[in-house]
Amino acid sequence: MADRREGPIRVALIGYGLAGAVFHGPLVSSTPGMALTTIVTSDPERRARASGNHPDAVVLTHVEALWERSAEHDLVVVATPNRFHVPLGLAALEAGLPVVIDKPMAATAEEGRRLRNAAAERDLFLTVFQNRRWDGDLLTVRRLIADEAFGPIVRFESRFERWRPAIREGAWRERGDPEEAGGLLFDLGSHLIDQAVGLFGPPLTVYAEVDRRRPGAEVDDDTFVALEHADGVRSHLWMSVLAAIRGPRMRVLGLRAAYEKYGLDGQEEALGEGSSPDDPAWGREPPDRWGRLSTGDDVRTVETEPGAYPEFHRRVVASLRDGEPPPVDPDEAIAVLEIIEAALESARTKSVIAVG
């Protein structure tokens, strides 16, 4: 429901790790119509960092203090470890506050539906931070598809690969408890699946290999997911922390042409280095990082579309102020969780799972 209150949307950010400090803090602060008024983190070092980065924001130690001041806020951003997404999202909704929640929105599709239903019952805004819908490489593929550059598409390949052969002791993403929703399938797979479904629609079948390769690993660290879409396109999605040599970030094979692109979108790195999303050159890649389009006889470089992470928060403002659709429909985030669950079942049974 649109909010006609005068003044900027007053945002409370829960969590100041990677998601809060690198993504939401800078993006909220630079979005017209938003103001970061409160940050909640119990970690002393993170509290000091939050105060230094956002001196106008109140930094709270415990989330209970935020609920006591709920009337002073218009939006809650949940940027915590995955196990807290549902309880904090529900608490915010019960306090009467709209919610942005990091991906994955929950550890199970059932819990995701619980969040969605709670928001619908209260007529409150709920969306999920799927920022990589605004990666420059994905936007470029969208443009090429719209231009019919490929002809009929045969296969879409997408990879998030890293080199982290040592287990990070104490990291929650390395823990095997199901409520943590740790491992690569929930972390990077949430992005890769969301991108593939956004391009080609829901899959009819899912096949997956979800492996733990590092000695002592409790969660998947080398995973492959194959989706068969209704129009015949097959999406092949890889995620690994065991790739000392990385494959192409994206490859699209069509009957008329193919596109190949190396290297990750640079927006996360730029945010981590303190670059401002207000920079007119934000999201632009240098020519040596552009991908190439080949028809076999002819190969040409293709300028990468500017990445646009700030678009997510701009759309949040439009949703809250003007009643526009949310940047990510909760049902779309639930559909990703359903595909993840099908992938886990496929890996367990070593079979193709029908989902369409």
Residue 332 belongs to some domain of the structure? no
Amino acid at 13: L
Cα 80 from chain centre: 13
* Residue 5, pLDDT score: 60
96 within a domain of the structure (yes/no): yes
| Structural domain includes residue 329 | no
Same domain? For 283 and 143 the reply is: yes
Judgement on whether residues 85 and 125 belong to the same structural domain of the protein: yes
The last residue of a domain, from among 90, 110, 129: 129
Task: Specify if 286 maps to a domain.
Answer: yes
- Cβ–Cβ under 8 Å, residues 208 and 344: yes
Q: How many domains does the chain have?
A: 2
Mean pLDDT per 10-residue segment, the chain (356 residues): 73 97 97 98 96 97 97 98 98 98 98 98 98 98 98 98 94 94 97 98 98 97 98 97 97 98 97 93 97 96 98 98 97 98 98 94
Same-domain pairing of 115 and 136: no
Q: Which of 129, 151, 176 is the last residue of a domain?
A: 129
**CATH code (residue 34):** 3.40.50.720
Are residues 84 and 136 part of one domain?
no
> Do 146 and 112 lie in a common domain?
no
By C-alpha distance, which of 230, 208, 211, 228 is closest to 220?
A: 211
**Host domain of residue 35:** 9-129
**pLDDT given at position 3:** 59
CB 305 within 8 A of CB 143: yes
* 188/102 same-domain check: no
Distance (Å, whole) CA 184 – CA 168 = 14
Q: State which amino acid sits at residue 46.
A: R
**Pair 158, 90 in one domain:** no
For residues 235 and 110, membership in a common domain is answered with: no
The first and second tokens of residue 110, run together, are 């059932």
Residue 321 in any domain: the answer is no
Q: Which residue has the tokens 């049902």?
A: 331
How far is the first Cα of the chain from the last one, in angstroms, to the nearest whole number? 32
DSSP 21: I
| Residue in 182, 183, 184, 196 with CA at minimum distance from that of residue 160 | 184
Instruction: Find out whether 340 and 190 touch, Cβ atoms under 8 Å.
Output: yes
Instruction: Give a yes or no: residue 152 inside a domain.
Output: yes
- 44 and 144 inside one domain: no
213: domain CATH number? 3.30.360.10
Please say which residue of 111, 129, 147 terminates a domain. Answer: 129
d(CA 311, CA 298): 34
Residue count (the chain): 356
Written as six digits, the tokens of 312 are: 């997510």
Query: Do 264 and 302 sit in the same domain of this protein?
Result: yes
Within-domain flag for 271: yes
Q: Which residue is it, tokens 């017209």?
A: 32
Which amino acid would we find at residue 187? D
Same domain, 301 and 254: yes
> Do 54 and 176 reside in the same domain of the chain?
no
Residue 302 lies in a domain: yes
